[in-house]
Amino acid sequence: MLYLVALAALALAYVIHSVRTYNSLKQFGGHWSAGWSRLWLLRTQGSGEMHKRFAALNRKHGSTARIGPKFLITSDPELFKRMNAVRSPFTRGPWYSALKLHPERDNITSHVDERIHADLRTRMAPGYSGKENLHLENDVDEKLLQLFELISSKYVARPDEGVYRTMDLSRVTSFFTLDVISKIAFGQTFGFLDNDNDPFGYLANLEQFLPAIIVFGVYTELTNILKIPLLKSALPKSTDKRGLGRVMGFARERVQERFGPKPLARRDMLASFIARGLSQAELESETLTQITAGSDSTASALRITLHHLSTSPAILDRLLTELESAIAAGAISRPVIKDAEARTLPYLQACIKEGLRIHPPVSGLMAKRVPDGGATIAVDGVPKFAPGGTQVGWNSWGMMHDAEVFGADCEVFRPERWLAREGAEAEKERERVRRMTETVGLNFGYGRFGCLGRGVATMELNKGVAETLLRFTLQPCRLARPFNEKVIGFTVHTEMDFVVTGRETAEEKARVAKARREMCVDAGALPGSFES
């Protein structure tokens, strides 16, 4: 009898707790089950199309909506900035604990303690800036030229010679960004481009690992079970021969080279971190985070931008005209454009911003915790109260596809939206473009949670987009389904197959035009009979 009474009391306590939890956020709209259970959130994040489902939820239920018993999601840029601001009372939520990639140590991404996170940011920021990494831009150029050499030697089709080949753009862009981040961080690459392959089986392993991060992000209490010896032994280890563990081993080896009896001396990110007191153990964890976070998102942005440009002839022609005109005017360095030069080209910058907007590279929730006293959140102008402890994630896709910010055609890839419209009131145009620019910049975070690697990622995009399209024509193999896509925090693309052909450079066109004019003169024709 006592047993039944105790059971009934527990059941009653559970019901009361569930009702209170439901009522605490009932003023926020959302899926009917989200107030009672986290299963809808788990299914949504594991669907492979979480970005679209969250965007649909915010469109239906308001700019901030419910996705779990104590969980909201927002597509409101102002709330995002408010939560991330330097002096904001919002803090990192338990969601971040799922980003602990190293089995034994937290990293700058997974630390929930604000003081530790802020201290790490202060010490790591100079290494990302380029001021202390004297090889940074040269390293990016070196890897970019190696990528082009690979494409030219192995993937360029020559239809006139009966040579037909295809290239998976998703693979080669991942190889490029992985080798870039390892080169600028350690001075030594993984060798993805050297092998035109994944020598560690890393990419396949990461695709398997990301769904686990989703589960731990929803049920954060499960992270505690990883401390159980049996489960801990199953996690990736630096002694593994393949996958994420092998990458951990590579990072560990590079770190150990800096602490041995004859430490390697090189001015790079690792040297900057060491100079600011990061321990060997901290570095092993941080470098692993650099590799994963610093490569996947940039590769995703690069390939999706190249895809949209290559399938938009009018846009591509306008971009190439800008680039070739700049080359002719001596405003672009050869063989690779400088980052500073790329930033001065308005249409190139418009294309890159539009690529980041049309398909934001990071879709993880990045959930912040409402301060203990609670907070009032405006939902489409209506104030609503969220109690302390509530987590608020961001909906990157919904934010970047907001018609109020980006226009009624926000589902269309149109770089011209970033250029001031002729005949429009100048002040209004400046404000329109400023608001869009500030919103798309949120892809890199904001305030005290801004992305340290933004400068490096932007450099790779500036150079990669411009130089790839100057050298090659990319034609998708399948227009109906140009690639497979799975969005699980990062975007995983596969079978992004293109036919690649060489493109004449501006210099080559000039040489051909000159030769043709000379041929016309020799043949007695009028100069200029042929147009270049």
| C-beta neighbour count of 528 within 10 angstroms | 10
Residue 520, annotated as binding a ligand = no
Give dist(CA 169, CA 302) in Å, integer.
10
Per the structure, the complete domain to which residue 426 belongs is given by: 2-522
- pLDDT tier at 519, thresholds 50, 70, 90: very low
Report if residue 530 sits inside a domain. no
pLDDT at 132 over 50: yes
Contact between 302 and 464 (Cβ < 8 Å): yes
pLDDT at 226: 67
Torsion-angle region of 107 (φ positive above 0: left; ψ -120 to 50: alpha; else: beta): beta
Among 12-21, 52-61, 284-293, which is the least confidently predicted range?
A: 12-21
How far is Cα of residue 68 from the mean position of the Cα atoms in its chain?
25
Report if residue 531 sits inside a domain. no
pLDDT digits (tens, 9 = 90+) for 352-392: 999 999 999 999 999 999 999 999 999 999 999 999 999 99
Report if residue 350 sits inside a domain. yes
Among 9-18, 148-157, 219-228, 251-260, which is the least confidently predicted range?
A: 9-18
Give dist(CA 248, CA 241) in Å, integer.
10
What's the CATH number where 358 sits?
1.10.630.10
pLDDT at 258: 85
More confident residue, 305 or 202: 305
More confident residue, 7 or 310: 310
Give dist(CA 465, CA 429) in Å, integer.
27
Report if residue 419 sits inside a domain. yes
pLDDT at 249: 86
Report if residue 529 sits inside a domain. no
Residue 146: C-alpha distances to residues 142, 143, 461, 472 (Å)? 6, 5, 16, 14
Give dist(CA 360, CA 296) in Å, integer.
12
Q: How many residues does the chain have?
A: 532
β-strands 71-74, 391-394 pairing: parallel
pLDDT at 289: 80
Give dist(CA 84, CA 69) in Å, integer.
23
**What are the tokens at 400?**
């970047």
pLDDT digits (tens, 9 = 90+) for 434-449: 999 999 999 999 999 9
Per the structure, how many domains does the chain have? 1
pLDDT at 532 over 50: no
pLDDT at 466 over 90: yes
Report if residue 231 sits inside a domain. yes
More confident residue, 147 or 126: 147
pLDDT at 342: 98
pLDDT at 504: 64
pLDDT at 343 over 60: yes
Residue 458: C-alpha distances to residues 42, 416, 530 (Å)? 32, 20, 41
User: Which long-range contacts link 271-280 to residues 24+ away (Cβ below 8 Å)?
Assistant: 271/127, 271/132, 272/124, 272/126, 272/127, 272/132, 272/133, 273/123, 273/124, 273/127, 275/132, 276/123, 276/124, 276/126, 276/127, 277/123, 278/120, 278/123, 278/124, 280/255, 280/256
β-strands 71-74, 64-68 pairing: antiparallel
Report if residue 527 sits inside a domain. no
Name the amino acid, one letter, at 502.
G
pLDDT digits (tens, 9 = 90+) for 415-426: 999 998 877 788
- pLDDT tier at 11, thresholds 50, 70, 90: confident
pLDDT at 529: 29
Give dist(CA 53, CA 59) in Å, integer.
10
Report if residue 497 sits inside a domain. yes
More confident residue, 164 or 434: 434
Of the ranges 25-34, 220-229, 271-280, which is most confident?
25-34
Give dist(CA 270, CA 132) in Å, integer.
10
Mean pLDDT of the chain: 87
